[in-house]
Amino acid sequence: MFKSFAIVAALVAAGFFFLATTPAQDRDADVVPAATWRHLALSSDGLDDAQIAQKINELGADGWEMFDVEGYPMANNTMKTVYYFKKPD
């Protein structure tokens, strides 16, 4: 029984030794760094629906991805819409 315990303890210690002596770049070779993003906000101020659609399509063709749309109440019962885009840096 003690012999089995000693073998298991030796294997565990060897594993810890391997992790402690292996360079981090070798251990973490499969870790992908987090992407960085550029962000853009397009406001509906002064644009009609056709102009907004055209601008959204242009941004999409340039690799921008729309990820959120928010509506904000304005004076005189109007609404301002802001379209949020992101693109890998």
Q: What CA–CA distance (Å, rounded) separates 47 from 37?
A: 26
Tell which residue, 85, 44, 43, has the closest CA to residue 63.
85
Tell which residue, 57, 60, 40, 52, has the closest CA to residue 79.
52
Model pTM above 0.75: no
Q: What CA–CA distance (Å, rounded) separates 68 from 74?
A: 19
DSSP assignment, residue 33?
P
Domain ranges across the chain: 1-31, 33-89
Paired residues of 66 in beta bridges = 85
Task: Please provide the distance, in angstroms rounded to a whole number, between the alpha carbons at the two ends of the chain.
Answer: 59
- What pLDDT tens digit does each residue of the chain (89 aa) get? 555 555 545 555 555 555 555 565 566 667 888 889 999 999 999 999 999 999 999 999 999 999 999 999 999 898 999 999 999 98
